[in-house]
Chains A and B, each alone.
Chain A
Amino acid sequence: MEHSSQESLMKHSNSITYESPYPLYSLAISHSPYRVAIGSFLETYNNRVDILSFDPDALTLKPHLPSLSFDHPYPPTKLMFHPSNPNLLASSGDFLRLWDLRDHSVEPLSVLNNSKSSEFCAPLTSFDWNDIEPRRVGTSSIDTTCTIWDVDKGVVETQLIAHDKEVYDIAWGEARVFASVSADGSVRIFDLRDKEHSTIIYESPLPDTPLLRLAWNKQDLRYMATILMDSNKVVILDIRSPTIPVAELERHAASVNAISWAPQSSRHICSAGDDTQALIWELPTVAGPNGIDPMSVYSAGSEINQLQWSAAVPDWIAIAFSNKMQLLKV
């Protein structure tokens, strides 16, 4: 009896599930206090963001009390906490929005709109908060541009026509260096000190296969990872050897939807996809002829749409699938 109860506790201690009333897509994690923000994915104007309290000792994940849920126009394409202030949350969708998480409520701080005179807006696909220079937030848009905001002043620092087609993701490497991926199939690096040029470091093999996500290895900036539309591959790039990937991780059985480098190790990356699996990979120094196998596998109940391996809680990987958000102990 004692043995079996201990076993069930073990099982619990390795994953915590939160079930939402609606399908989920975006998520973000903060520490001190440990909180998780989750965004609904409803194909209507009215969407929700819920704040959950996470207790890594009691292993609980439940709605924050008092409730810190708020309405969000359109599904948030990304949620992110301020790099050092856990009470500041940003979201992207029709615009970049900043939210102030107070004790009893969430107040909208600002809506960062680039074209105030226009009733139309080009939706934002993603954004990234610069953790070295937290006043900088970069957004990527379907209108082919990336916009660098000074969120302290609420003004545009720079807007660049970054690609020939929709920009799908953006990631900071340095205080002034960011990279983006696009439907035009390229990974480009931009340096705010030289706005006249960008550097293409990778182009998808079939002409114009869109690149959906970009993850820059924060532990070793030489490495980036990207994924292609409708592809089971995770492409690992070394910016010193542009155009040729240093590795391609091909063990997913269906499209990969999300990638995240380990926050505490330069050689580990997690990927998740439509095959319902989350795979952790250890990049070897030398790869054999048969490719690279993942070091561990987790199977979720359905297609995994989102993945975060956050420095806020490096021992936990957060995934979102259907209407569930799960924290997995690594």
Chain B
Amino acid sequence: MEGTSLGVRKGAWTGEEDILLRQCIEKHGEGKWHQVPLRAGLNRCRKSCRLRWLNYLKPNIKRGDFAVDEVDLMIRLHKLLGNRWSLIAGRLPGRTPNDVKNYWNTHQRKKSISPIVDVLEEKEQNMIVKTKVIKPRPRTFCKKLTWLSGKPSTIIRERTLIQPKDDIATNIMSPTLTPSENRMKYRWECLLGDNEAGDEIATRALNTGFDEELSTTIWSDDEIASAAKVGGTFDIHDQDGFSFLANF
């Protein structure tokens, strides 16, 4: 049982191995598991190292019996999420998905002895079937959208010419869509399809209201200066996404 034909150790971890792994992670940080066996000098596969750390060695792991409120929350979350141990463990500070799963399986075996509980659980099963919980797959946009690096709109060009000091200007509220934005527009029109395209609403909104001055009795303007502090937010945007502005 000391190893396999490949010579990688399997089975229980020794105290020495634990020390080596702990030292390695203290030095290099958590992650890059493929490098860990070599760095730590362990004759273990990377998966074994990772699981040993996450389930046993990580310093914030909470040991000992589950408290009543932890069990309560676990039951609640399990009712809703099923056997999604890492999601459940995420709500129980210091508990690992592995510990939660082990506790649940022991707990369930105890429960199934009582026939009354079985009837209850059957009922609950029916309830869950009644409202089917859907898990939509999240989609994300890539950071560099083609239209972001496209040609600048004439609006920005004009404004930048009028205000040459604002060389790091960012277009925030564009009153009209640029031609390149139109490509994206279709998508969002589908999403926001119950309405007319945003433009009309925006124009309407801009023309009504807010021309009146805000009362200054309680909304003081002089405090703004003291509230203001130097911020460099837009430098980041300039480098990150609005790179076309640098063309000026």
Instruction: Give A contacts to B, CB under 8 Å.
Output: 10-11, 14-15, 114-118, 120-122, 132, 142-145, 156, 158-162, 164-166, 173-177, 186, 188-191, 194-201, 203, 219-223, 236, 239-248, 250-253, 262, 264-268, 277, 279-280, 282-291, 293-299, 314, 328-330
Does A241 contact B210, Cβ atoms closer than 8 Å?
no
Chain B, 132-149, CB within 8 A of any chain A CB: 132-141, 143, 145, 148
Chain B, 185-212, CB within 8 A of any chain A CB: 185, 188, 191-195, 198, 201-202, 205-206, 208-210
Chain B residue numbers with a CB within 8 Å of A121 are 76
Does A219 contact B72, Cβ atoms closer than 8 Å?
no
CB of B117 to closest CB in A, whole Å:
12
Query: Which B residue's beta carbon lies closest to that of A285?
Result: B173
Counting contact residues on chain B (CB < 8 A from A), the size range is 35 or more
CB of B221 to closest CB in A, whole Å:
6
Chain A residue numbers with a CB within 8 Å of B76 are 118, 120-122, 143
CB of B91 to closest CB in A, whole Å:
8
Does B232 contact A291, Cβ atoms closer than 8 Å?
yes
User: Which one of A176, A198, A222, A298 lies within 8 Å of B194 (CB-CB)?
Assistant: A176
Complex Cα distance, B132 from A175, in Å, reads 21
Complex Cα distance, B127 from A293, in Å, reads 52
Query: Which B residue's beta carbon lies closest to that of A15?
Result: B218
Does B171 contact A285, Cβ atoms closer than 8 Å?
yes
Complex Cα distance, B139 from A161, in Å, reads 14
Complex Cα distance, B209 from A197, in Å, reads 38
CB of A110 to closest CB in B, whole Å:
16
Assess whether B214 is interfacial by the CB under 8 Å rule: yes
Q: A161-B135, A291-B232 are in contact. Are A191 and B140 (CB under 8 A)?
A: no
CB of B82 to closest CB in A, whole Å:
10
Q: A188-B138, A221-B192 are in contact. Are A117 and B227 (CB under 8 A)?
A: no
Does B77 contact A132, Cβ atoms closer than 8 Å?
no
Number of A-B contacts defined by CB within 8 Å? 259
Chain A residue numbers with a CB within 8 Å of B208 are 264-265
User: Which one of B127, B175, B181 lies within 8 Å of A116 (CB-CB)?
Assistant: B127
Chain A residue numbers with a CB within 8 Å of B143 are 243-244
Chain B residue numbers with a CB within 8 Å of A176 are 194
Q: Is the interface of A mostly helix, strand, loop or mixed?
A: loop
Assess whether B26 is interfacial by the CB under 8 Å rule: no
Does A14 contact B220, Cβ atoms closer than 8 Å?
no
Chain A residue numbers with a CB within 8 Å of B230 are 290-291
Complex Cα distance, B221 from A145, in Å, reads 42
Does B240 contact A244, Cβ atoms closer than 8 Å?
yes
Chain B residue numbers with a CB within 8 Å of A244 are 143, 148, 237, 240-242
Chain A residue numbers with a CB within 8 Å of B136 are 160-162, 190, 194-198
Chain B residue numbers with a CB within 8 Å of A294 are 224, 227
9 residue pairs of the A-B complex, CB under 8 angstroms, read A15-B218, A116-B127, A118-B79, A144-B87, A199-B138, A240-B185, A265-B208, A284-B173, A290-B231
Since A145-B80, A200-B138, A240-B184 are in contact, a sample of 7 more A-B pairs with Cβ atoms closer than 8 Å, ordered by chain A residue number, is: A162-B136, A194-B136, A197-B136, A285-B159, A286-B166, A289-B235, A296-B214
The contact string, 1 if C-beta is below 8 Å from chain A, for chain B 37-61, is: 0000000000000000000000000
Complex Cα distance, B224 from A266, in Å, reads 22
Chain A residue numbers with a CB within 8 Å of B240 are 244
Does B137 contact A241, Cβ atoms closer than 8 Å?
no
Does A287 contact B170, Cβ atoms closer than 8 Å?
yes
Does A280 contact B223, Cβ atoms closer than 8 Å?
no
Does B215 contact A288, Cβ atoms closer than 8 Å?
no
Assess whether B219 is interfacial by the CB under 8 Å rule: yes
Q: A266-B206, A297-B220 are in contact. Are A243 and B140 (CB under 8 A)?
A: yes
Assess whether B1 is interfacial by the CB under 8 Å rule: no
Chain B, 119-160, CB within 8 A of any chain A CB: 120, 123-124, 127, 131-141, 143, 145, 148, 155-156, 159-160
Does A120 contact B72, Cβ atoms closer than 8 Å?
yes
Closest 4 A/B residue pairs (Cβ): A296-B219, A291-B231, A266-B205, A120-B76
CB of B161 to closest CB in A, whole Å:
12
Chain B residue numbers with a CB within 8 Å of A248 are 231, 233
Does B185 contact A299, Cβ atoms closer than 8 Å?
no
CB of B238 to closest CB in A, whole Å:
9
Assess whether B102 is interfacial by the CB under 8 Å rule: no
Chain A residue numbers with a CB within 8 Å of B20 are none
CB of A164 to closest CB in B, whole Å:
7
Complex Cα distance, B181 from A186, in Å, reads 24
Q: A132-B194, A161-B134, A198-B139 are in contact. Are A296 and B173 (CB under 8 A)?
A: no
Assess whether B27 is interfacial by the CB under 8 Å rule: no
Assess whether B108 is interfacial by the CB under 8 Å rule: no
Does B138 contact A240, Cβ atoms closer than 8 Å?
no
